Amino acid sequence: VHTGEKPYQCSECSKSFSCKSTLVAHVRVHTGEKPHHCSECSKAFTCKSTLVSHMRVHTGEKRHQCAECGKTFSQNSDLVKHMRVHTGDKPYQCVECLKDFSDRSHLTRHMKCHTGKKPYQCSVCSKYFIQKSNLVTHMRVHSGEKPYSCTVCPKDFSRKSDLSIHMRVHTGEKPFICPLCLKAFSQKQNVVLHMRVHTGEKPYHCSVCLKYFKQESHLTAHMKLHTGGKPSRCSEHLKNFRHNLLV
């Protein structure tokens, strides 16, 4: 093992191993054999170690902890994925548009954008979707269903991701860090908005007076000056508008 010698070779792909037991486990990749069964959900695995790791899903054991935010995970692979939230690492790249992703599954889902195929149609509004899961989530817009409930407060959500974001209100978790001033945020979009404080970027502009704003909500509030939603005098408009932004 320590000499680096690998005398056991796979007859299917010629990959070599230092231990015979490792070769035996590897061959199952080709045969499809999964001899290790979960007693809780009947899921099967090629390696016993993978089964042991899987069992933590049922026991609730989370031995892998993030050193940055303290969040715990049942499997090390989940911790590795989570760490990319802090590091910004995106190792999976789309060969079509060179967009980067932190998770392989996100890249796989993204690739469907380039095929142009949207086989799943909403029976209510006829909107098309790339994935069935997106259609299922969309249908809740029409049904009003909110199956994901917060265990701390009575709030319900139509999407699991929205519940996950909401839970940070209770946990205080702020995994998104500004790389310039290290200020922490609970949502990624808040970091994007905050970065404009440093860059000075103002992507939203008024079509009437060409004034620029960092946030769309600020532009919306400003537009009321022109539509008559505020007092008529321009000076009062600007005074009230600035005051509202500072409050």
Q: Residues 207, 242: one domain?
A: yes
Q: Residues 71, 54: one domain?
A: no
Where in the sequence is the domain holding 207, given as residue range(s)?
A: 176-246
What pLDDT does residue 150 have? 94
Q: Residues 73, 55: one domain?
A: no
Q: What is the CATH number of the domain that holds 18?
A: 3.30.160.60
What pLDDT does residue 236 have? 47
Q: Residues 39, 69: one domain?
A: no
Residue 159 in any domain: the answer is no
Q: Residues 44, 69: one domain?
A: no
Q: Residues 71, 42: one domain?
A: no
Q: What residues contact residue 110 under an 8 Å CB cut-off, 6+ apart?
A: 94, 99, 101
What pLDDT does residue 101 have? 92
Q: What residues contact residue 118 under an 8 Å CB cut-off, 6+ apart?
A: 128, 129, 130
| Bridge partners for 242 per DSSP | none
Q: Residues 217, 198: one domain?
A: yes
Residue 208 in any domain: the answer is yes
Residue 147 in any domain: the answer is no
What pLDDT does residue 231 have? 43
What pLDDT does residue 55 have? 82
Q: What residues contact residue 30 under an 8 Å CB cut-off, 6+ apart?
A: 10, 12, 13
Q: Give pLDDT tens digits for 99-157.
A: 999 999 889 888 888 888 888 999 999 999 988 888 999 999 999 999 999 999 999 99
Q: Residues 51, 89: one domain?
A: no
What pLDDT does residue 70 have? 86
d(C-alpha 238, C-alpha 245), whole Å = 11
Q: Give pLDDT tens digits for 203-236.
A: 999 999 989 998 899 999 999 888 876 543 444 4
The pTM assigned to this predicted structure is 0.47
Q: Of 13-17, 69-73, 195-199, where does the model show the most confidence?
A: 195-199
What pLDDT does residue 53 have? 79
Q: Residues 55, 78: one domain?
A: no
Domain count of the fold of the chain: 3
Residue 49 in any domain: the answer is yes
Closest to 207 measured CA to CA, from 232, 221, 226:
226
What pLDDT does residue 242 have? 43
Residue 126 in any domain: the answer is no
Axis-axis angle for helices 216-227, 234-246 (nearest 10)? 160
Q: Residues 237, 187: one domain?
A: yes
Q: Give pLDDT tens digits for 153-211.
A: 999 999 998 999 999 999 999 999 999 999 999 998 899 999 999 999 999 999 999 89
d(C-alpha 241, C-alpha 230), whole Å = 9
Q: Residues 181, 242: one domain?
A: yes
Residue 155 in any domain: the answer is no
98 vs 61, higher pLDDT: 98
Q: Residues 25, 82: one domain?
A: no
Residue 140 in any domain: the answer is no
d(C-alpha 177, C-alpha 194), whole Å = 10
Residue 131 in any domain: the answer is no
**Is residue 72's pLDDT more than 60?**
yes
Kindly provide the residue ranges of all beta strands, DSSP E only, lying in the chain, ordered along the sequence: 8-9, 16-17, 36-37, 44-45, 64-65, 72-73, 92-93, 100-101, 120-121, 128-129, 148-149, 156-157, 176-177, 184-185, 204-205, 212-213
